[in-house]
A = this chain, B = another copy of it.
Amino acid sequence: MNNDINTKNQQTNPHLGGPNGTNILIIGAGLCGSLLALRLGQRGYNVTVMEKRPDMRKVDISAGRSINLAFSDRGIKAMNLVGILDKVMPLCIPMNGRMLHDMEGNTIFAPYSGRKEEYINSISRGQLNALLLDEAEKHKNVTIHFNKKCQSVDFEKTTARFKDYEYGNTFVEDADVIIGTDGAGSILRQSYFLEKKFLFSFSQNWLSHGYKELSILPAEGGAYKTFKNALHIWGREAFMLIALPNLDGSFTVTLFLSWDEGTYNFNNLTTKERVLEFFGIYFRDALELMPNLVDDFFENPTSALGTVKCSPWHYKGNTLLMGDAAHAIVPFYGQGMNASFEDVTEFDKVLDMGHKDWESVFNIFEQNRKKDTDAIADLAIDNFHEMKGHVNHPNFREKRNLEMLFEKEFPEDYSSKYSLVTFNEDLGYRDAMLRGRAQDKAILNMLADGVISASTDMSSEALKTVLEKVKIETENILEKDRIAGEA
């Protein structure tokens, strides 16, 4: 670190050359930043990471973000890349499907896949992040500083200004390359936007709904009060409640609710009585497990849900956005963390290509990657609607039943949209989206037309015939879209 902005290395177009000579500054030691630091450390770069929060391994800090997350195959692929999957697995609780709770407290278990080896995991954000920090710090060419809040980035000079929360001073850090993994509220991205030095496309889109975290505490002796290996959903069309298990026997519960629409909304749930009334009507079986509801409700913050897209992610070969800083998404596909981890996998692939300069690396990374992060952003919004209500619709259930039969009976021949997105880590999000949507359209329309049906007592042969029809109609839809798109 140095305090003089002018001591910056004058090299204006740094070449990759050998990694040893290159100083990479990473802003933000969250999930993406710490994995990136680990990987670039493994590759031999000199890596400095600046994190605004205290070291989460030493101080008990409220994450301010969701406590547990869905961890699935794209995340697993990234953990394999850095060779720590064996350390991550003990932190995971498998969730094999959705446990759907109706108004009367009846439940239906809807598996995520017809293939039993395909499931997602609940994992603690804090524990996973701490592991990544530990692993990154094992490399002597990686240094992580805490309590250093980025204030601004000069992307033309490749320097960043930080406030040191420990000592109160500010200082300027320079580097050959700066990578902003500083989350949805990225300061690097804000510099791109506000400086207006190039044409920066940007969008922030807020959902009509906010969220609040609540909890189901463990039973006596640390037992789970409800079924452990599922993502629980209380879908009520206009709003929903979900719950994911934690290792200590608790569940983290999240309420997704409109800010201001409908009879019950965040703006009018202002008294204990009204909160209990709302949960009593809509989430009766959950309420029975949550004697702590009212305290949680009024102690915990209510937060907004937004999607951020932008372009370009990089300024020349100087700076690059990654993870939520480049593409923040809503949580409804359980892919936010997985997408950020996949950024590191994909960035690593581009580094393997052996380009001579960082501008080419950043360019190719964005060209390859942006279509996929745009797709998962859109899929996550779709899934918000699916989880709230469509999971309860007869035609949606019929489609899912049929897909479960396909996946179970012909595991090599069919993957639902959910499976393509979640369990097919070598297929990009965009291709998964296009094929998955075409399949959904094919099945829903053929069900509506009575061309196929989804009875569970179909013979394997009859089911095979239905699958063939679905595949032909899917190709048909994709081909028609292609012809119309080419106009």
Contact = CB atoms under 8 A, between A and B. Distances in A.
A430 to B, nearest CB: 18
A484 B204 contact: no
A190 to B, nearest CB: 11
A206 interface: yes
Contacts of A259: 199
30 contacts: A199-B259, A199-B304, A199-B306, A200-B204, A200-B206, A201-B203, A201-B204, A201-B205, A201-B206, A202-B202, A202-B203, A203-B203, A385-B487, A386-B487, A390-B487, A393-B487, A395-B486, A395-B487, A396-B487, A399-B487, A437-B484, A440-B484, A440-B487, A441-B481, A441-B483, A441-B484, A444-B483, A444-B487, A445-B480, A448-B483
Nearest to A386: B487
A442 to B, nearest CB: 9
A482 B200 CA distance: 35
A259 B201 CA distance: 15
Nearest to A201: B205
Interface in A402-455: 437, 440-441, 444-445, 448
Interface in A184-198: none
A486 B272 CA distance: 36
| A-B CB proximity, top 6 nearest | A203-B203, A441-B484, A199-B206, A201-B205, A390-B487, A448-B483
A146 to B, nearest CB: 27
A481 B441 CA distance: 8
A201 B206 CA distance: 6
Contacts of A385: 487
Interface in A437-481: 437, 440-441, 444-445, 448, 480-481
Contacts of A306: 199
A385 B487 CA distance: 10
Given A201-B203, A445-B484, 14 more contacts: A200-B204, A200-B206, A202-B202, A202-B203, A202-B204, A203-B203, A203-B204, A393-B487, A395-B487, A396-B487, A440-B484, A444-B483, A444-B486, A445-B483
Contacts of A199: 206, 259, 304, 306
Contacts of A440: 484, 487
Interface of A: 199-206, 259, 304, 306, 309, 385-386, 390, 393, 395-396, 399, 437, 440-441, 444-445, 448, 480-481, 483-484, 486-487
In terms of DSSP, what is the predominant structure of the interface of chain A? helix
Contacts of A201: 203-206
Contacts of A445: 480, 483-484
Contacts of A486: 395, 444
Give the interface centre of A204, A306, A440 by most chain B CB atoms within 10 Å: A204
B202 A484 contact: no
Contacts of A487: 385-386, 390, 393, 395-396, 399, 440, 444
Contacts of A481: 441
Nearest to A385: B487
Nearest to A447: B483
Nearest to A208: B199
Give the interface centre of A385, A484, A487 by most chain B CB atoms within 10 Å: A487
A167 to B, nearest CB: 29
A437 B480 CA distance: 12
A59 to B, nearest CB: 28
Contacts of A206: 199-201
A440 B485 CA distance: 10
A352 B486 CA distance: 44
A265 to B, nearest CB: 14
A154 to B, nearest CB: 21
A437 B483 CA distance: 12
A481 B390 CA distance: 16
A306 B311 CA distance: 13
A203 B304 CA distance: 17
